[in-house]
Structure 1
Amino acid sequence: MSKIIPRISTRGYYDLTNGDTLKNNSYFLYPKKDFAKLIGSKELTIMIHGLRNDNAGAVAKVLIAKNRLKKLGYSYPVIGYSYDSNTTGAHLVKYAKRALYAGQKIAKKNGRNLSLFIQDFKQKSPKTKIRLIGHSLGSQVILSTIEHLSKKPQNKGIVEAVYLFGASITEDIPSSKKYGPLLNKVVSKKIVNYFSPSDEVLYWANRQKFVKGPLGLNGAVGRTIPKYKQKSVKPKNHRFASYAQVLDHFP
């Protein structure tokens, strides 16, 4: 039997058709006992998946991240964040727009949930550095998490670093007057964006005007904050497994 992957979950909290909130709970941990073991860790990396991932998909993405980071010499715990991204009809072109908008709505709402976990965990384990990896729609979860964390002055530098792969948030975020200062405040060391001009999913989303100017397609525009770095990569396709393959160092 394979080892259970620890994950923070909000599965079943949001409606998969329209993104409405079904439960106002914060989050649940699975398995809970594994999280108790993480207290006191020097570091912790949380993997946040993209659209069209059920619970099994979320677990698979953590395994991909964990295995790749291990190959790159990263020895600290890698856990998952599992949320309702398997929105209804996301695999069908005629429902793609509706499914994406529901997914974006859910991803934005999950910023509250993930920010609560980070604050709760840091209270128990203040010296643990927390790194966030986001693929595709996972970038929206991270951005919303930063937004929520920025509301409290004590959260300055609470997140060590952020790594984005095939990000679906817009290209003006790292230079925007709204989000630039928030990222600067909450993220201690760096925000690294791995973008790909050949990413077929982001290219299509941009052409269809579902996401206008995705950050993961051509990188950032404007004058970005100093903590922001970006790297053009050539993954085989939009899948996280392909982006993980082109990652050459971490952290």
Structure 2
Amino acid sequence: MKRRTFCKLAGAGAIGVASSVTSVQAAETVPLVTTRGHFDIEWGSVVRDDRYGPQEYATNGAVPGVDTGSCAPDLTVFVHGYKTKAGEAAETTSDVESSLADSGYGGTTIGYAWDADNPLWDWWETTEIARKNGPKLARFTLDYLAACPDATVRYVGYSLGAQVVLSAAQTLASWGRGETVDALTLLGAAADDQSASASGRYGPALEQVVGRVDNYWNEDDSVLNWAYGTAEFDGALGANGIEGTPPANYWDHDVSYVPDHFSYYDADEGCVDDVVANW
């Protein structure tokens, strides 16, 4: 595992668990950025391991640009959801990579693994961990673009992974960046339905640093309606669409044809064809 630091070049009922047995072998070659082990929960508080800085990340040695020396001109970073275990991130990313390719995407897909596999009673702390991964993903993004200045970077955040990519956009904006991420795609987003609005937590940043934002939501997503609604006492962006005035570069997409929370990126039943078409 290779560590990366600030500005140094060369991770039913549970929200966000989905993978397939067929992806295991392919997953062995999936490039991964990882922050696994960077955060823990102690007595109800999120604690960052002081061996790792707030913007530090690691890789599995296979990430284009920062590891391999060769740039991927079109890079998509997929961020998994809640309850995904350490060994499952590569499998899930492999599924997404295959679905994107089947839908006509010709770029490179890598995964971002983070400390998401915490008990249900640690939900609120896990959402905090997701947001604290924003600066780490933002730092990777700038490191990648420094190594590959002509490249395009896209984010895909699934379920609670949506809060990772939204926080990364917020971080990039706080650093004074202009448009840095070509597209930010949300699939079944476990984030507050007001948070992406023009007056919400992330809306101004999305308009500042992202080319286009696409939110794929499903009002029949029973996991978001039950689990997220119960935990947060509020509606989810992935179940309701946006509440409030959207940023000028934001589009909601009602994908009620997706059968459940775990199928958004399924090659047969998901909405990946629409994702690629809108890119």
What is the match of residue 92 of structure 1? none
State the match for 1:101 in structure 2.
124
User: Which structure dedicates a bigger proportion of its chain to helix?
Assistant: 1
CA contact (8 A) 2:99 2:266 kept: no
Distance in 1 between residues matched to 2:62 and 2:73, nearest whole Å: 19
**Contact 1:16 1:86 (8 Å CA) reproduced:** no
The 5-angstrom pairing of residues 29-40 of structure 1 reads: 29-32=59-62, 34=64, 35-37=66-68, 39-40=70-71
Show the counterpart of 2:84: 53
State which drifts further: 140-149 or 54-63: 54-63
Which whole-Å CA distance do the structure 2 matches of 1:146 and 1:5 have between them? Answer: 24
Cα distance in structure 2, aligned partners of 1:219 and 1:144: 18
CA contact (8 A) 1:171 1:215 kept: yes
Cα separation, 2, equivalents of 1:133 and 1:242? 10
Report if the CA contact (8 A) 1:40-1:127 is conserved. Answer: no
Q: CA deviation at 1:134?
A: 0.5
Please tell me whether residue 199 in structure 1 is matched to residue 221 in structure 2.
Answer: yes
Q: How does 1:82-121 map to 2 (within 5 A)?
A: 82-87=113-118, 89=119, 96=120, 98-121=121-144
- Residue 58 of structure 1 and its aligned partner are, at CA, apart by 1.0
Q: What number of residue pairs does the alignment pair up?
A: 241
Indicate whether 1:27 and 2:39 are aligned. no
Match of 1:68 in 2: 99
User: TM-score when scaled to structure 1?
Assistant: 0.89
Report Cα offsets for 1:26-60 as digits up to 9, x if no partner: 00111257543474322100000000001222112
Q: Match for 1:231: what amino acid? A: H
1:161 to 2:183 alignment: yes
Distance (whole Å) between structure 2 residues aligned to residue 61 and residue 16 of structure 1: 24
**Aligned AA for 2:273?**
D
Q: Does the 8 Å CA contact 2:265/2:272 hold for their aligned counterparts?
A: no
Kindly report structure 1 stretches of 4+ aligned residues shifted beyond 6 Å.
none
CA distance in 1, matches of 2:91, 2:74: 21
Moved more, 59-68 or 29-38: 29-38
Cα deviation 1:166-208 (Å, max 9, x = unaligned): 10111112324252221111102x1000001111111113441
Q: Would you say 1:138 and 2:161 are equivalent positions?
A: yes
When residues 169 and 207 of structure 1 are mapped into structure 2, their CA distance, relative to the original with a 3 A threshold, is closer
> Which residue of 202, 208, 213 corresponds with 1:185?
208
Distance 2:71 2:225 in 1: 42
Instruction: Tell me if structure 1 keeps the 8 A contact 2:180–2:210.
Output: yes
2:158 is equivalent to residue 127 of structure 1: no
Q: Which runs of 5+ in 2 are unaligned?
A: 1-24
Query: Would the alpha carbon gap of residues 81 and 240 (structure 1) be closer, same or farther in structure 2, given more than 3 Å must change?
Result: farther
The verdict on how the C-alpha distance between 1:122 and 1:145 changes in structure 2, with shifts beyond 3 A counting, is same
Give the aligned partner of residue 170 of structure 1. 192
- Indicate the SS of the match to 2:33: strand
> 2:63 and 2:180 mapped to 1: Cα distance?
24
Matched position secondary structure for 2:189: coil
> Tell me, what secondary structure is at the counterpart of 2:67?
helix
| Conserved 8 A contact 1:59-1:80 | yes
Alpha-carbon distance, 1:11 to partner:
0.6
Task: Normalising by structure 2, report the TM-score.
Answer: 0.80
